[in-house]
Amino acid sequence: MLRAAATPIFTSTRRPARTSLRAALWLAAMLSLGGCTATPGGPAGDAAGDGDSLSPPPDEKLPLFADAGADQTVDAGVQVLLNGSGSFAPGGESLSFQWTPVGNAPQPSGADAAIASFTAPISGSQRTLAFHLEVQTADGRSAVDDTLVTVRAALPPTAGALVMPALIPAGGGAQLVGSATGGARPFAHFWTVMPPPGKSPGMVTSSNSLTTQWNAPPGQVGTWRFVLHVTDAVGRIASAEAQVLVESDCDTNGTIDALELGGRDCNSNGTSDACDAVAGGDADSNGTLDLCQPAVEPDCNSDNTPDRCQGLADCNTNHQPDACETAAGASPDCDANGRPDACDSDCNTDGTPEACQSFADCNSNNVPDGCGDDDCNFNRTPDVCESLGGNDCNTNATPDDCESDCNFNQTADACESLPDCNTNETADPCDFGQDCDFDGTPDACDTFLDCNTNGTPDFCDIAEDCDGNGRPDICQLLIDDCNTNGLSDPCETAADCDFDGTPDVCTGFPDCNTNGLNDRCDLDCDQNDTPDACEGSADCDTNQTPDTCEFDCNTNLIPDLCEFAADCNTNGLADLCETLLLGSGRDCNTNETLDACE
């Protein structure tokens, strides 16, 4: 509500448009002060019409206006602002502010400022609070206004509870997860544990926390219930309940017994095999009692202990002791050694152990021939026995067919009388690395030309024979290097423009323009054996090309580039040449001007 002060006092109802209301109230105040005067600038003869303005009597001051702001509706527990900044003094004087609660409204903070605040009280029912604003100038004039704040009722609190996981082993842990919504904050929380009859409550890490940890007591099973109590700021209480099932874990390994080994109980004593095994009677530690295994596992010696728990040999790892396997005839045992034949040594892999067959042993070393003796040619006869049989010409205990035979004549090189002209202990026919012409005679023993005395025949020195004439370049340089530049003359093709086999520098050729090239190799457009640069012909554009060799579209013996003929399209080609070259299609009226330029 906006109010003006002093005489008279104007009161108005609350409005959405403060600016228009402020102007209306100010106008009403001015009228109440007694009159209006025409402004000097108004039209002559006007009464209180257009051009008139209001002004107060000289001895009166304009009234103040107090504005406590619009009414509000808020939630409980939130901060509320009381805004009196819309108050004003038409004369521009400074204002002081004072907020006063009405009835049971709370005292606002900053009550002597334009904007004050308070926290909306929490209540189970809706309340309406009133606040009174007074503004005052230094000379004692004042104005007042009121505002209303409606505080909604706080909803009752709601609690939620959850245990994760819902199934745990004895002595294990679970998380208690709570939630609280609605109500008036802040909340207070408390967990209550309700164990099964005769059982311990376990341990809650923090009973006053919304989320906490609970550890089940060791060795106890059953269903534990948990209740979360939530109290809001005004004392209203909500609760929620959850539960967890605790099952036995006899071996305290953190896994519920019913989930171990499928929950087997082979002796039907009400205790899982895993727990019976902890107490003893499980020799193989497989979680199944020994007394429960004979019916399902082999016990070949009938001693009520599974075969695999007795430490008996089982060479083929088929869970049957070797002695039982052979005694029952399930596996052959030709040498009656209590082991299946498949586990005995069988070096020739014929399926019969060595101990059960008569085998050859030419060198009497108790190893069957072909079962480990040296056998370089893989013929299943030990090398030492082959040597004794005459297949060892040099008696070195290695068969001849395993020795070096460079000429592939089936006779070991060491046993042949082959020539060795260079006495390098390699027969001449096998001296391939030193026989460049492959004639069967090592190069060192051959008769050949070797101009550079490098031990390689000239015809094999192909890496340094640029002209392929069978003579190394190094030998040709002595007679065929006219300019002594280290290159054989026939190989200087880059400096032999007439390809006569003699470098240009050595031929004493004419060179009219002294450019280092034989005149016959210079540019000669008219092919008169005189380089273009040396002819006395006209050269209008000084490009060292005679005019007679330049482009002359109109055949007037003047190069096109030197003629200043018309070129209407500036393409570098005279219009006359374009018409001559392109025909009448480009100059329809034959006036030597291109159609495109007319």
One domain for residues 199 and 116: no
Q: Across residues 261-273, what is the average pLDDT?
A: 68
pTM of the model: 0.35
Query: Distance between CA atoms of 442 and 11, rounded to whole angstroms?
Result: 137
Residue 351 has pLDDT above 70, yes or no: yes
Q: How confident is the model at residue 129 (pLDDT cuts 50, 70, 90)?
A: very high
Residue 33 has pLDDT above 50, yes or no: no
In a domain, 240, yes or no: yes
The token duo for 441 is 């005679």
Q: Across residues 60-64, what is the average pLDDT?
A: 81
Q: Percentage of the chain surpassing pLDDT 90?
A: 25
In a domain, 397, yes or no: no
- So what's the pLDDT on residue 167? 95
* pLDDT, tens only, 278-296: 666 676 676 666 667 654 5
One domain for residues 141 and 204: no
Sign of CA dihedral 400, 402, 407, 409: positive
- So what's the pLDDT on residue 463? 58
* pLDDT, tens only, 508-533: 678 887 777 777 787 778 777 788 77
- So what's the pLDDT on residue 85? 95
In a domain, 534, yes or no: no
Query: Distance between CA atoms of 290 and 282, rounded to whole angstroms?
Result: 5
Terminus-to-terminus CA distance in the chain, angstroms? Answer: 91
- So what's the pLDDT on residue 313? 82
Q: How confident is the model at residue 36 (pLDDT cuts 50, 70, 90)?
A: very low
Question: Quick check: 343 and 322 in contact, CB under 8 A?
Answer: yes
In a domain, 25, yes or no: yes
- So what's the pLDDT on residue 264? 72
What single DSSP character describes residue 355? G
Q: Across residues 459-483, what is the average pLDDT?
A: 71
Q: Percentage of the chain surpassing pLDDT 70?
A: 77
Non-local (6+) Cβ contacts of 94 within 8 A are 137, 138
In a domain, 32, yes or no: yes
One domain for residues 240 and 145: no
Residue 8 has pLDDT above 60, yes or no: no
Q: Across residues 526-552, what is the average pLDDT?
A: 78
One domain for residues 223 and 86: no
Residue 12 has pLDDT above 50, yes or no: no
- So what's the pLDDT on residue 187? 87
In a domain, 207, yes or no: yes
* pLDDT, tens only, 90-118: 888 999 999 999 999 999 999 999 999 99
Residue 505 has pLDDT above 80, yes or no: no
- So what's the pLDDT on residue 83? 97
One domain for residues 122 and 163: no
Bridge partners for 163 per DSSP: 176
Q: Across residues 1-13, what is the average pLDDT?
A: 40
Q: Across residues 307-319, what is the average pLDDT?
A: 75
Query: Distance between CA atoms of 164 and 151, rounded to whole angstroms?
Result: 40
One domain for residues 10 and 87: yes
Residue 580 has pLDDT above 80, yes or no: no
SS (H, E, C) 215-256: ECCCCCCEEEEEEEEEECCCCCEEEEEEEEEEECCCCCCCCC
Q: How confident is the model at residue 396 (pLDDT cuts 50, 70, 90)?
A: confident
One domain for residues 139 and 232: no
In this structure, the number of other CB atoms found within 10 A of the CB of residue 554 comes to 14
One domain for residues 192 and 125: no
Last residue of a domain, one of 226, 247, 268: 247
Residue 147 has pLDDT above 80, yes or no: yes
- So what's the pLDDT on residue 542? 80
One domain for residues 224 and 138: no
Q: Identify the CA nearest to 267 among candidates 249, 237, 290, 244.
A: 290
SS3 state of residue 25: helix
Residue 310 has pLDDT above 80, yes or no: no
In this structure, the number of other CB atoms found within 10 A of the CB of residue 532 comes to 20
Query: Distance between CA atoms of 371 and 381, rounded to whole angstroms?
Result: 10
Last residue of a domain, one of 194, 226, 247: 247
Q: Identify the CA nearest to 443 among candidates 457, 463, 423, 430.
A: 457
Lowest mean pLDDT among 9-18, 297-306, 321-330, 473-482: 9-18
Q: Which amino acid is at 316?
A: N
Non-local (6+) Cβ contacts of 479 within 8 A are none
Most confidently modeled of 160-174, 325-339, 488-502, 543-557? 160-174
Residue 4 has pLDDT above 70, yes or no: no
- So what's the pLDDT on residue 296? 56
Residue 22 has pLDDT above 60, yes or no: no
The overall average pLDDT reported for the chain is 77
Query: Distance between CA atoms of 401 and 377, rounded to whole angstroms?
Result: 8
One domain for residues 165 and 57: no
HSE (side-chain half, CA atoms, 13 Å) at 26: 16
The token duo for 545 is 């090309």
The token duo for 365 is 């070393």
- So what's the pLDDT on residue 9? 34
Non-local (6+) Cβ contacts of 138 within 8 A are 93, 94
Structurally, how many domains does the chain consist of?
4
Q: Which amino acid is at 136?
A: Q
CA torsion, points 227, 233, 237, 240, in degrees to nearest 10?
Answer: -30
In a domain, 460, yes or no: no
Instruction: Provide φ and ψ at 98, rounded to 5°.
Output: -150, 115
Residue 35 has pLDDT above 60, yes or no: no
One domain for residues 91 and 203: no
In a domain, 254, yes or no: no
CATH number at residue 75: 2.60.40.10
- So what's the pLDDT on residue 433? 62
The domain in which residue 213 lies consists of: 157-247
Sign of CA dihedral 29, 35, 41, 44: positive
Question: Quick check: 247 and 169 in contact, CB under 8 A?
Answer: yes
473 vs 253, residue with greater confidence: 253
Query: Distance between CA atoms of 59 and 36, rounded to whole angstroms?
Result: 15
389 vs 593, residue with greater confidence: 593
One domain for residues 170 and 103: no
